[in-house]
Amino acid sequence: MTKNTLNALLISLFLFACDQPTTDDDKNSISKEFNQSASIEKQILRDFELIGLNGSIYQSSQWNNKAKLINFWATWCAPCRREIPLLNKTQNNYSDIPIQIIGIAVDLFDDVVSYSKETEFNYPILIGEEDAIAIAEDSGVDFIGLPFTMVVTKDNEILKTHIGEIKKHHIELITQVIKDIQSGKITTSQAKKQLGKI
């Protein structure tokens, strides 16, 4: 794919997702749709590999046995950039539970590497163009805009997908639900219902 074609695709995603106001009805509709599909069948995060900031290939299996918060973002997406400090803080503050933040840039490699020189990340950043979008789609999730976040159990079951900016109250709920699953207080079905509030 040419750089111009990719840029046109990314700009379309940006215009569709980043600038669209989200109403409470939209949020409720998305949550209801997710909860209905979750009750029908499990959505499993499929194994994937992507290139990292250092040019090495990373396999998703290296984070098996850890819950994952996978955040899809791009350098040109303002809400995506606003999430980064919160995700850094989350990775630092929740070291007591096995949860791994993973950033997946739906962007050009050189643009992400340049951005990383001025922005600190304390969690892995992987980079893909169409390959990044395919990760969600191969797992049965519709990828319709950025930022886009998946909450995944240590067994790779997708508990929740969230379109839009992640906020502090989202992180608090997600980390509590992950703790409760790992301690056996709740089941994954109960976790999905609790995360439906996001």
- Render each residue's pLDDT in the chain as its tens digit; 198 residues: 544 444 444 444 444 454 555 455 544 544 444 444 444 478 999 999 999 999 999 999 999 999 999 999 999 999 999 999 999 999 999 888 889 999 999 999 999 999 999 999 999 999 998 999 999 898 888 888 999 999 999 999 999 999 999 999 999 999 999 999 999 999 999 999 999 988
Alpha helix locations (H) across the chain? 3-17, 24-40, 78-93, 109-116, 130-138, 168-183, 188-195
In one-letter notation, the amino acid at residue 133 is: I
Residue with tokens 């899809």: 72
d(CA 14, CA 48): 24
Residue 130, both tokens: 């169409």
Q: Which of 172, 59, 191, 39 is nearest to 124 (CA)?
A: 59
- In order, the DSSP letters of 117-136 are TTS--SS-EEEESHHHHHHH
Cα distance between residue 63 and residue 108, in whole Å: 24
List C-alpha distances in Å: 42 to 39, 140, 157.
Answer: 7, 10, 7
Q: Do 48 and 152 touch, CB atoms closer than 8 A?
A: no
Tell me the domains of the chain and their CATH numbers: 3-195 (3.40.30.10)
* Amino acid code (one letter) for 175: T
Order of strands across the sheet that contains 99-106? 57-59, 49-52, 125-128, 99-106, 67-73, 148-152, 158-163
Q: Which of 103, 176, 127 is nearest to 10 (CA)?
A: 127
